[in-house]
Structures are given as structure tokens and as C-alpha cells.
A and B are shown apart, each in its own frame.
Chain A
Amino acid sequence: MAEFTRFEIFQLLNGNKPLWLGKVDLSEADLRGAILHGAVLTGANLQKAQLQGADLVGANLGGANLQDANLVGADLRKAYLRGTDLRRADLHEANLAEADLTDVNLSDSNLLDANLGAADLTNANLSNANLTGTNAPDHKILRAKSLFGTVMPDGTIHE
């Protein structure tokens, strides 16, 4: 977390317009419960960021690095996640309804009980991802480009 002090992060979170933080370094930042509604975080570095319960509705996270990020219970409805790197991210009970997950890399991620209703998984990398308890229909999951070792919604491992 090189760019911002805690004070600057709270200052940003208390601004009165949607955040525009393309390409910024927020790696390992504590953003639990943060209101990032509609924020532009294109290409941002959010590696290992703590985003539990964060409001990321409609946020643009295209091409962002969210490796190992904690997104437990985060609200990502209608978020734009094209080409986003979510390897090993924890998305337990996250809400990804209507999110654009085209070309996303979700390998080794945890999506246990996440809401994937109407999410677009075209060309997603879901290898070794845990989709147990998600509501993604099989025909959507089968649009992914890689399903090696993926745990399907019913708990079976894809072959």
C-alpha cells in the first residue's frame, strides 16, 4: 500500500462523488465495509485488499488485480469485472448478480454460496474454483474457458 495513508483513504471514502481511482495502488488496503458504489478502479492494484462487506455495486474493476483479496459478503451487483484477476480471492457469500465476469481469472477462488444470478462467465478461468452453493446454471458455467478441478454448485468436481 504505497500510495495512500489511512487518512488519505478515509478522505477519499468521504468525498461526495464516485471515486475515480484507475491504476492506483491499494494493495493490502483495509477497505472493509467501504462504500465504493460506482467507483472506477480500472487496472487498480487491490492485491490482498480487505473488502469484506464493501459496496462495489456497479463498480468498474476491469483489469484490476484482486489476487488474494478478501471479498467475503461484498456487494458486486452489476460490477464490471472483465479480465479482472481474482486468483485465490475469497468471494464467500459475495453478491455478483448481473456482474460482467467475461475473461475473469477466478482460478483457486472461493465462491461458496455466492450469488451468481445472471452473471456472465464467458471465457472465465474457473480452474479449481469452489462454486459450491452458488446459483449459477450449468449452461452459464460451461461458457468458461477452463473448468479444471472446478467444484460445481452441487459440490461435484467437474471432469
Chain B
Amino acid sequence: MSDLSREELIKILAISDHPRLSGVNLEGLDLRNLNFAFADLTRANLSNTNLSGAYLRSSRMEEAILENANLTGANLKEANLKSANLHNANLTGANLTDAILFGANLDSAKIDPNAGYQR
């Protein structure tokens, strides 16, 4: 059971330039195309979420759980995914330019070799 519904989450994202969502449980939610730029998602549970097309630029996702997450076409430019769990996540077409993936678990994750993670 997630902490917030998609509608509630949209209300939070709307009121803050740097949304404070550390530790939030959003498991299984439809998060397509939402704007998480500069959000604090440290240790958030985002497993089984649909984040395709989401704008996650410069977000903090240290130790976040992104197992089975659909991140196709998501913008993760400068995102901090240090020690995040991306097991079986789909990163096809995601923008990982300057993203921090130190210590992240990318086991079984799908990464498009043509994706824009070069500078």
C-alpha cells in the first residue's frame, strides 16, 4: 500500500520547487510524465512504478528502491542514484547524462546502448 495516491502526489509536487519526499512509499503507482525535478526521493520505494517520460532531473534517489520500475524515456540527467536498487528496471531511452550510479544495483536492468549518457 503506497503512502500517497497519484492525485495526492501531484498536489505535493505542485507546491514545492524541491519536493521533500524522502522515505515515501509510492510502490506500484502510475507516475508517468510527472515532474520530480530536484525532488528528495532518498530511500523512497518506487518499485513497480511506471515512471516512463518522468522528469527526474537532479533528483536525489540515494538508496531508492526502483525494482521493476519502468523508466523508459525518463530524464535522469544529473540524478543521484547512489546505492539505488534498479534491479530489473527498464531504462531504455532514459537520459542518464551526468547521473551518479555509484554502488547502484543494475542487475537485469535494461539500458539502451544508444541512450544519451554520454556528455
Q: Which residues of A contact B (CB under 8 A)?
A: 6-7, 10-11, 13-16, 30, 32-35
Contact = CB atoms under 8 A, between A and B. Distances in A.
Contacts of A7: 3-5, 8, 11-12
B34 to A, nearest CB: 14
A10 B43 contact: no
Contacts of B4: 6-7, 10
Contacts of A15: 15
Contacts of B8: 7, 10
Interface of B: 3-5, 8, 11-12, 15-16, 19-24, 40, 42-43
Contact of B23 (A11, A16, A33, A35): A33
A11 B20 contact: no
Contacts of A35: 20
B15 A13 contact: no
A83 to B, nearest CB: 29
Nearest to B11: A11
A32 B20 contact: no
Contact of A33 (B11, B12, B42): B42
A34 B22 contact: yes
B42 A10 contact: no
Contacts of B23: 30, 32-33
